[in-house]
Amino acid sequence: MSTWIDRRRAGVLLHVTSLPGTGPVGTLGQTAITWLDAMHSGGFSVWQFLPLGPTHDHGSPYESLSSFAGNPLLIDLQDCVHRGWLPAEMVHPHMDQVQHQQCLTHAGTRFWQQQADDARLRADIVSFTQQQAYWLDDFVLFSVLKQLHNGKAWWQWPEALRDRHADALAEIRDQHQDMIRQVIFEQFLFDQQWQAIRTHAEANDILLFGDLPIYVAHDSADVWSSPELFTINAQGLCDHVAGVPPDYFSATGQRWGNPLYHWERMQADDFRWWRRRLQRQLERMHLVRIDHFRGLEAYWAIPGESEDGIIGEWLPAPGHELLATLKRHFGRLPLIAEDLGIITEEVNRLREAFELPGMKILQFAFDGHADNPYLPEHHEINSVVYTGTHDNDTTMGWFSQLHEADRQRVLEHLHCRADDMPWALIETAIASVARLAVIPMQDLLELGSQARFNTPGTVAGNWQWRLTDIPATGDPLWTRSAALNQRHERI
């Protein structure tokens, strides 16, 4: 088995935005440190979260403005207060996104004033901009142009900017230095705050487990800066888009709307874009889940005018060549394959060829078929087991909505009573032979469907659930978790 993880471990699934706080979403900083300590007291040594990039207005972390940048909304403003860049009175409870950005803009102005007289700070920002220039320069320009055009998609900009004419971009750089410096500041500060989290995690033997969407958003710095790598026409529009056919999650499939890759062009330069993309993720985290792994073997191509995922065709992808290149470049591949949905033997062979662990979802296990691969007795050591993922209902919500016969089947298989849920399913995950077991925080809190984080194929009402507070070290939740993790040798 590959060395993607060193021993049996257990983790908690909680996106950064779900951390408590006074801002519009959870942030980095002391709250995240407190979370790591509390989680660790429960015997958990892996924190899994969703993609960290800046999002569009709907808030989906899987539809990011950049594969490389961090989301400024996640920046902890108290850090700016402590550094003297922001008056404490500007930070108050129940701040919205506009107020959060106003605070960041104020802090950015003070930062650039301070670095002029602070040699250490100046050296740090110069080092950051030089090391990250390969993506940062394009993202900065993209962000400034989005602001100047009131958030319009890049293919709706004037042709000279849409098509990246050098003289037009040079004029933007000359005329909007303050806006450019603000974006650089935000990415620099995000990086510093995240690295502080990583340092704290490593000091406590905690692994950070991130998420890499297989595709990028159509309206993103990635596509605008490298349109030749994507299925984009001369006007910037997609002839075909990504998605999946009908499956467990949706009877009409899912139309994600992402452009597809020109794989042959990516392969021609030894997958340079993919190598850089993964390198950036590994600078932040120890493990990376490849969302929709099956798209590396074959992908569902949907006509651009379709409104759902019903109509499409499977087309081959050079997944073996890509993974071989990544393995040659990085050596160890700390990757987890999200292998849910319609999975063929070809997909399984690709995953197994590179010894990548797949996912086992217990909520999918109890359909009455003895050969169901998600049943606990069919789990493999080289896998990650979940009660459910961010796309599932909570365990209590799922269990309460089962038909009576299905509910009884679950109870009989787990040898428990209804009152034992969700902890009976949690212990089943932790007891699994799978090398890593991950439990959503909503399940540890025994929450129902009101705490569901995402319903695939829908837009409204997702990505909003948050903790009201972090259960303190010594809370019965953590005590019970620690006992289970100890019993099943995950500590």
Cite the active site residues. Answer: 291, 338, 391
- Please say whether the dihedral angle defined by the alpha carbons of residues 6, 12, 15 and 18, taken in this order, is positive or negative: negative
Residue 297: both structure tokens together: 């073997």
Q: Whole-angstrom Cα distance, residue 237 to residue 241?
A: 10
For residue 299, give both structure tokens. 């992908």
Cα distances from 443 to residues 134, 228, 398, 438, in angstroms, run 40, 44, 11, 11
- Coil, strand or helix at 391: coil
**For helices 423-431 and 404-414, angle between their N-to-C axes, nearest 10 degrees:** 50
Q: Contact 376/431 with Cβ under 8 angstroms? A: yes
Contacts 24+ apart (CB under 8 A), 192-199: 192/124, 193/28, 193/29, 193/75, 193/76, 193/79, 194/28, 194/52, 194/70, 194/284, 196/28, 196/33, 197/28, 197/32, 197/33, 197/36, 198/284, 198/285
Neighbour-count burial for 373-405, b at 16+ CB within 10 Å, e otherwise: bbbbeebeebbbbbbbbbbbbbbbbbbeeeeee
Beta pairing, strands 313-316 & 46-48? unpaired
β-sheet bridge partners, residue 359: 384
Give the N- to C-terminal CA distance of the chain in Å, as an integer.
21
**Of residues 261, 270, 210, 198, the one with CA closest to residue 231:** 261
Q: What angle do CA 216, 221, 224 make, to 5 degrees?
A: 95
Place of tokens 């090398």: 435
- Which single residue is written with the structure tokens 């399940």? 443
**Is the CA virtual torsion 45, 51, 57, 63 positive or negative?**
negative
CA angle 325, 52, 252 (to 5 degrees): 85
Tokens coding 212? 């890499």
What's the token pair of residue 466?
């948050």
Taking each helix axis from N to C end, the angle separating 177-203 and 97-115, rounded to the nearest 10 degrees, works out to: 90
Q: How far is CA 206 from the centre of its chain?
A: 18
